Chain A
Amino acid sequence: MEENKVESEEEFESAESDSEGKVLEEQSNNKLINNKQTMNTDQASDTNTSQSDAKQTHTEEAHTDTTQTHTEPAMSNAEPTDTDTSTNQSHTGTSQSDPGTNQSHAGTNQSHTGTSQSDPGTNQSNTGTSQSDPGTNQSNTGTNQSDTGTSQSGTSSWSWGWGSITSTLSSAVTKATEYTSSVINKGGEEEEEVPTPQEMRRESTTDEEREDQSIGGIFTGLATAVQSTGASLLSGGLDALEVIGRKTVDIISEGDPGLRKKRALLTGDTKTLSQLLKEAKETNNDNNNDDNNQENTSSLINYSQLIEQHGGLVHLEALEMLSGDCTSKLESIESESVNDEVQSLCQYFNIEEEEEEDPGDGKEFTNISSLTIDRVKADQLIKCHEDINIQAKEEVDKDIEVLYVESMNGMARLCSSSLQLFKKTSEILLIPSDGESIDVKDVAMKLKKITVIISNEFETIASLYAEKINEKSSEDKGQEYITSLYLEASSSSSYVQSAHKLLLPVLQHRLTITINNNNN
């Protein structure tokens, strides 16, 4: 089991990063499977066949990375279990008998909603659901996923800024896996102690009410880790799985009281970017508080606090409000053709890695003023950029501490100005136009360019200052500053890119207005 532990930790991490890029692809796979299942559901005798199909497909497609070492036992275990299941199902009809079915449901959710608004209830509600319509349930899940497609990509991009948190969580998951193993072993011996599914369902419903929404996240996250051991779980039954799920949450939380926050950071959708920023600030304050007790004062700047001081946070909050309202308005679109048009805007909101790394020559930044929409001026942003560059190139002897503060302030200012620009753009886009038309696709294209230019700029600033600090001091303190500088540069890029994604619903809403105006 020692080996398993290590593997599953790695798997968890790779699953996290892999699932991001594949979300859309996987969703479409999932949809196909769901459709297939829905069709089969009518014929009761076929239900099990289709479910085991689905499960296998998922194991092969969705978890290519995660199951490498475990595929063999998983498959061989899964098949006989399914056969058992089908027998049970037709005779008894109790949910004790369908671990396989539910396991495949769980699998579906894990792989596809890694960072998304996975409904915490989805797994659980399937638990007690009658066996006659698993396909229907699944296809519902599928629909939800495709609806939240945009927000998935929205949250996935910045998660890399929280590297340390990810690793903390994965170590927590290692604990979880450890515990999982022991429960699995127990599972066989103490079957009579496992509560009935009905009880379980009742309990988990209360749990849901009690816990905040982010609890769904840990189920999703944990489920990925549990995936490797999932094969042997099939025989242990779904009930055991649920017990494990909830126990592991407790255990992890005991060991790491701050976990709930970190978990929320990873799942993203339950919290908005601005909430995360606020929490990051608080956490940092808490840490400083702890440092005080240990008389080990950190000299690093609380960057989220700087963003707040420069007004970035409040602009972001306003942008989130607008974006959220637009999202809810979009839900009422009925026309398919309008919906297709609206969806087509998504292509302008994926920023590829290579675009990010495109080296900027500095002059590029001033081009932003030609890329903004009418009535939105980039003057402040460009001024801010100029100021930073002038300051950075000053031939004055500065302490590394001064350089550090200067660079961090500069980045926070630039980041805040960018957020302000995006907020203002949203506002202008949402003013009802008097016959004046806005080429939404053109705006989308330009906004993407702006985002890439700004994102690149943070790294340029960080490099500029890192070099200066490095010249001055190669001691630990200097290195600490440089690390912090690069970290916050990447955080800044993430903030700006996440804010950019908030503009998608705004543009989409604007597009529907334009279409409606043209139709009338």
Chain B
Amino acid sequence: MSWRNSSLTDVDHYLYQFRLIIIGESTVGKSCLLRRFTQGRWIEHNDPTVGVDFHTKMVQVDGHNLKLQLWDTAGQERFRAITRSYFRNAVGALLVFDISDQNSFAKVSGWMEDVRQSSKPHEPVFLLVGNKADLDRQRQVLRVDAERLANSFKIDYIETSSRTGQNVEEIFNVLARRIFEAIQDGTVVVGNGWDGVKKGDEIPKELSSRVNLQQKKISDTKDNGGGCCK
């Protein structure tokens, strides 16, 4: 990769970029979870999110760089019309509730359904997150209940704490891996004008045969022109 103009700009090399949305009721701690993940520390966050905020972070799965583009959506009801516009084009969704707030758990299915409707014909990969695990004393949602719900959707359930950092890296790594596997087994299709997964410039090895047709076409024509893609 030395040929790229690395002397002028630092370029992120990644195999795929995944667009992930973080959804759930207001005050369950979505923004704090993201700040903990991207900045590695607990940041008190009082202002409710307006519309959407963005973060990016690179994770590694099987030695590949995967860039996560994280869409931190507003949980408040009055933003719902706006956030709904953002639901489509996400390949993955973190479905967050607060273990000390039964109501936030009760709304999980509604959020999931909302995203599913908006992202048709694509089916995002979901992960159920029980946040504020440090507030175990005020727990209102039993782990078994959350696990049962996750099972019924055939998704993973992980409990986290932005305050302590417990499992925060974990949820992003697990979700990234699930999506990566879905690409490998063909459940998730890359390209076709869909922004959920974007191909990066890291050349896939074992995946080279699965690269979407459009990419292949481009490189084919280039080969004809005497060029050579390694």
What's the minimum C-beta distance from A508 to chain B, rounded to whole angstroms? 15
Interface of A is mostly: helix
B144 proximal to A (CB < 8 A): no
Q: Determine whether the beta carbon of B69 is less than 8 Å from that of A302.
A: no
Question: Is A120 in the interface zone, CB < 8 Å from B?
Answer: no
The answer, among B3, B78, B85, B225, for a CB contact under 8 Å with A325, is: B85
Contacts of A314 in B (CB 8 A): 54, 69
Is A300 a contact of B85 with CB atoms below 8 Å?
A: no
Contact of A311 among B54, B82, B85, B229 (CB under 8 A): B54
CB <8 Å contact, A432 and B3: no
CB–CB A292/B54 < 8 A: no
Beta-carbon nearest neighbor of A423 in chain B: B51
Is A302 in contact with B9, judged by CB distance below 8 angstroms? yes
What 1/0 flags go to B15-47 for Cβ under 8 Å of A?
000000000000000000000000000000000
Cβ of B79: which chain A residues have Cβ within 8 Å of it? 427, 431
Q: How far is the CB of A269 from chain B (nearest CB, A)?
A: 14
Q: Are B227 and A317 in contact (CB under 8 A)?
A: no
The total of interchain contacts (Cβ-Cβ below 8 angstroms) comes to: 82
Q: Is the beta-carbon distance between A298 and B5 smaller than 8 angstroms? A: yes
- A interface, how many residues as a size bin? 35 or more
The size class of the interface chain B forms with chain A is: 20 to 34
Residue B123 interfacial (CB < 8 Å): no
- Given the complex of chains A and B, what is the CA–CA distance between A9 and B86 in angstroms? 43
Knowing A285-B201, A423-B51, the reply to whether A405 touches B227 (Cβ < 8 A) is: no
Would you give 5 A-B contacts (Cβ < 8 Å), ordered by A?
A257-B222, A289-B227, A301-B8, A309-B9, A424-B51
The answer to the question of B221 belonging to the interface, with a C-beta cut-off of 8 Å to chain A, is: yes
B134 CB within 8 Å of chain A: no
- With A309-B12, A314-B69, A405-B8 as known contacts, state yes or no: A430 contacts B54, CB within 8 Å: no
Task: Flag B204-230 by CB within 8 Å of A: 1 or 0 each.
Answer: 000000000000001001101101110
Say yes or no: A431 contacts B78, CB within 8 Å. yes
Q: Does B149 have its Cβ within 8 Å of any Cβ on chain A?
A: no
Q: Which residue of B lies closest to A285 (CB)?
A: B201
| Bound Cα distance A285, B11 (Å) | 11
Counting CB contacts under 8 A, is A288 at the interface?
Answer: yes
Across the interface, name the chain B residue whose C-beta is closest to A324: B85
Beta-carbon contact of B78 and A401 below 8 Å? no
Please name the residue on chain B nearest to A428 by beta carbon: B50
CA A342 to CA B86, docked complex, whole Å: 25
Q: Are B4 and A288 in contact (CB under 8 A)?
A: yes
Shortest distance from the beta carbon of A153 to any chain B beta carbon, whole Å: 23
CB nearest neighbor in B for A401: B8
Residues of chain A lying within 8 A (CB to CB) of residue B7:
299, 401
Contact with B along A303-331 (1 / 0, CB 8 A): 00110010100110110011011000000
A355 at interface by CB-CB < 8 Å: no
For B86, the chain A residues whose CB sits under 8 A away are: 318, 321
